[in-house]
Amino acid sequence: MAIREVLKMGHPLLKQVSRPVHEFGTRELLDLVVDMEDTVRSLNGAGIAAPQIGVPLRVVIFEVKNNPRYPDAGEVPFTVLVNPELALLGDELEDGWEGCLSVPGLRGLVPRHRRLRYSGYDAHGRPFERTVEGFHARVVQHEVDHLDGILYPMRLRSLLDLGYEDTLFPKGAALPPD
């Protein structure tokens, strides 16, 4: 399919609440998912949400495979998640560095819930749910935030926790994923 332009912070579509998907398995939805996959892979991102390529639907994809750029992240299987619902488990928060393809060049230290259960559908409308923690839980929270018009800088405890990645991580080692 196609690598699409990723909208950047400030674009009105990134501030909107996206609409649920009502029809599954359509050419339109399957093509959207392929475009999201092509786009996120081309940029070595960990995930992307449909509004980031200008489509205001509740669709996110994510994947973290063994990657030397971020050895501590653990593996997250390739997942297409449509109409996600999150159930936060417990009150425990964990700080971690995040980046975002819509906020290029910056990283921020973001508190997220450590454990959660998420549920939703794949692109064919098959329901599934998972209970996850740590980086997997972080990625899901980051991507689902996009569907509600929230970018990670809005989650920072302080703007002191935001910076340029080449300054925060000058050797490129242990660079956290986008």
Residue 143 annotated among the catalytic residues of the structure: yes
Residue 46 interacts with Ni ion (CB under 5 A): yes or no: no
Applying CB under 5 A, the span of 32-40, 85-93, 96-104, 118-126 interacting with Ni ion comes to 96-104
Give the contact letters, 50-89, x = binds to Ni ion (CB under 5 A), - = no: ----------------------------------------
Task: Give CA torsion, residues 126, 15, 102, 107, to 10 deg.
Answer: -100
Number of residues that bind Ni ion (CB under 5 A): 1
Q: Does 100 bind Ni ion (CB under 5 A)?
A: yes
Query: Smallest Cα–Cα separation from 47: which of 129, 152, 126?
Result: 152
> Using CA atoms, how far apart are residues 101 and 7, in angstroms rounded to an integer?
8
Please report how close the Cβ of residue 125 comes to Ni ion at its closest, in angstroms: 25
d(CA 12, CA 127): 31
Nearer to Ni ion, 24 or 33 (CB): 33
How far CA 95 is from CA of 108, 149, 176, in Å, comes to: 10, 21, 12
* Positions in the binding site for Ni ion (CB under 5 A): 100
Please give the positions annotated as active site.
Answer: 143
